[in-house]
Chain A
């Protein structure tokens, strides 16, 4: 099992550009999440999904969009990138929601810089 994979690992964007961060998991997990982590800050939940076709906003969804057409994939779309979106983005998945063990499996992250 590869677990949770993310691409790209690094990206530099210009203000106003768009991009999609890819996330794939091969553990057949229903739940998937997108977080951002800024220096010295905790992880903030951007969007999450409890299954294919279902997505919900997290704590900081503005400026982002997601889709969940399959169980495996959960891409994050940035439209009109802004310097405030410079961060490390982590995708995660879990077998059950937080009512379960609470273990989330994280991808290696995407380091995004917006200049």
Chain B
């Protein structure tokens, strides 16, 4: 089993819709969790951390379920500028990156 698994997509979603991604991780001792965003042919950038109680940043909501070992990212009212690849990242003394979920917002 991979350390971090994501649905690669692609997800093609109309503008204004809500979209959710899940990510599962194999190491139950994982300490912290993040979502990074990577635009085409660019470097990854931190989108948000994921806290146990769940957290929200504008249109973005991240959730963590330690019992089931998955994290999720919800994007509401999606914009064209949200088109990117979203990387699930898990901290086990080093950051382990998922392969990413590709999202395209359609006008």
Residues of A that sit less than 8 Å from B by CB = 35, 40-43, 45, 48, 58, 90, 98-99, 101-104, 106-109
Contacts and interface: CB of A to CB of B under 8 A. Distances in A.
B89 to A, nearest CB: 7
B27 interface: no
A56 B45 CA distance: 24
Interface residues of B, number: 22
A42 B99 contact: yes
| Residue among B46, B87, B98 with the highest chain A CB neighbour number at 10 A | B46
Interface in B26-61: 31-32, 34, 42-46, 49
Nearest to B4: A42
Contacts of A40: 8, 99
B97 interface: yes
Interface of B is mostly: strand
28 contacts: A35-B97, A41-B99, A42-B4, A42-B96, A42-B97, A42-B98, A42-B99, A42-B100, A43-B87, A45-B95, A48-B94, A58-B94, A98-B32, A98-B91, A98-B94, A98-B95, A99-B31, A99-B91, A101-B49, A102-B34, A102-B49, A102-B89, A102-B95, A103-B34, A104-B46, A106-B43, A107-B43, A109-B43
Interface of A is mostly: loop
Contact of B43 (A41, A48, A98, A108): A108
A98 B32 CA distance: 9
A103 B8 CA distance: 23
Nearest to A101: B49
Contacts of A48: 94
Contacts of B46: 102-104
A6 B46 CA distance: 19
Contacts of B95: 45, 98, 102, 104
A42 B87 contact: yes
Given A99-B91, A102-B46, A104-B95, 18 more contacts: A40-B8, A41-B99, A42-B99, A43-B44, A43-B87, A45-B95, A48-B94, A90-B44, A98-B91, A98-B95, A102-B95, A103-B46, A104-B46, A106-B43, A106-B45, A107-B43, A108-B42, A108-B43
